Amino acid sequence: MNRDAGARAVLVAAMASGQGKTSVTAALARKLLRQGLRVRVFKCGPDFIDPMLLERASGAPVHTLDLWMVGVEECRRRLHDAAREADTILIEGVMGLYDGSPSAADLAREFGVPVLAVIDASAMAQTAGAVARGLRDYGPVELAGVVANRIASEGHANMVASSLRDIALVGWLARQDTPLPERHLGLVLPGEVDGLDDLLDKLADGLHFNEEAWCALPLMAQSAPEWPDPGRLLDGRTVAIARDAAFCFLYPANLDLLEKMGARLRYFSPLADEAVPADADAVFLPGGYPELHCAELVRAANWQSSIRATHARGVPILAECGGMMVLADGLTGQDGQRWPMAGLLPGEVHMQPRLAGLGAHAMPTEQGPVRGHSFHYSRLETAAPAQAHTVKTGNGAQGEAVYRIGSLTASYFHAYFPSNPPAMAALLGGGTP
């Protein structure tokens, strides 16, 4: 494939979840990367797990684009930065193309990015054309073309292609014998999938790709927007961050912001029984899957004693979702087994089969609201009073409780730090230099 000056950008979307957006995005990223192109991938909407897999597929960090949580101007800056650095920009959509407010379609229209529609054709043939035209015309959106997923044969692909009429079939994927595995919060973490790179290569090999249709797409603008200076609000402070298979829900933008504010980041692994670094001026316990690692966390005596001692010294601790769960008195899995946890937050966490919280939220602070989201399958039963509650953006209703016990701030709420740098600096013990 010839390399042009500039980047082609598409938003990979579908009529619903489960159509194969992530598989198609990963296959396309890996295929173009192996052709020597520079690929940047973004994820539309709050998500931690898909970006991990797409980072493995593309070889570069995957940032979030969301018109509300991230904001229009930061989304624009990230896209234009990527357009100057890459040949291809892929944005994986969220849910169905028009689902939510703002939707993936809203984002595509805001930045003039054409939509690449993924259609699960496993139980249809010519009707794929009707689906594609409906996705294009309902909004409407600019449609770059279609990638048909779970195709049974080349003849099946030809029937789909003929049904599209004036819409290009940019590619198709056969039914996968080994699809990407999933669990209750989404895909299984990349580190848990044996032979993941081989699986991604197999997806790329199986993508029948129309290079002529791809090269007909326009190039994206490459302006150089200015990034605001958040200020050195954490200058000289060491922020210790739990990071392993139990604590892995980390937005790259959050970590970038902490460093821009002058923080030194120190990572440690509770699962490996690593203590909180002794020189930590603040601790961040992000979300993840602690419920899958209870036995290891219970055995991690160094970790547990160190987080208790850190709290006793008054070091600021910010705990999100899974990070909060491990600080409760106990965690009970769906099998009914209870595991004792660190005991900084009185109460019990119970896993459940159904979602307990989902959606975009804003957390009030003295520095103004912090934007973010909630997504969890557990509930916390506690007598501790909530010091505040997040606000659900859809209807303004009360959202997640925010607990403050000594130097600990804990909630199911996942914060997008760049939405309010002064507030996040304050939560980590920083402020005006």
Looking up tokens 């003295």, which residue turns up? 366
| pLDDT of the chain, 433 residues: tens digit per residue | 555 567 999 999 999 999 999 999 999 999 999 999 999 999 999 888 889 999 999 999 999 999 999 999 999 999 999 999 999 999 999 999 999 999 999 999 999 999 999 999 999 999 999 999 999 999 999 999 999 999 999 999 999 999 999 999 999 999 876 566 554 445 455 555 567 888 899 999 999 999 999 999 989 877 777 899 999 999 999 999 999 999 999 999 999 999 999 999 999 999 999 999 999 999 999 999 999 999 999 999 999 999 999 999 999 999 999 999 999 999 999 999 999 999 999 999 999 998 888 899 999 999 999 999 999 999 999 999 999 999 999 889 999 999 999 999 999 999 999 999 999 999 999 976 5
Beta pairing class for 398-405 and 388-392: antiparallel
Alpha carbons 90 and 29: distance in angstroms, whole number: 7
Taking the whole predicted model, whether its pTM rises above 0.85 is answered as yes
Distances (CA, A) of 383 to 22, 320, 377, 386, 411: 41, 19, 20, 9, 14
Q: Where in the chain is the domain with CATH 3.40.50.300?
A: 7-220
**Closest of 226, 225, 211, 218 to residue 5, by C-alpha:** 218
DSSP string for residues in 188-224: PPGGGSTTHHHHHHHHHHHEEE-HHHHHTSPEEP---
C-alpha separations of 79 from 10, 43, 54, 216, 318 in Å: 11, 12, 17, 20, 30
Pairing of strands 143-151, 88-92: unpaired
**Active-site annotation holder among 44, 75, 248, 321:** 321
Q: Is 321 a catalytic residue?
A: yes
Of 130, 142, 70, which is closest to residue 105 (Cα–Cα)? 142
Q: Decide the pairing of beta strands 345-351 and 378-381.
A: antiparallel
Which regions of the chain carry the CATH code 3.40.50.880? 238-427
What CATH superfamily classification does 7-220 receive? P-loop containing nucleotide triphosphate hydrolases (3.40.50.300)
Q: How far apart are CA 135 and CA 406, in angstroms?
A: 51
CATH number of 238-427: 3.40.50.880
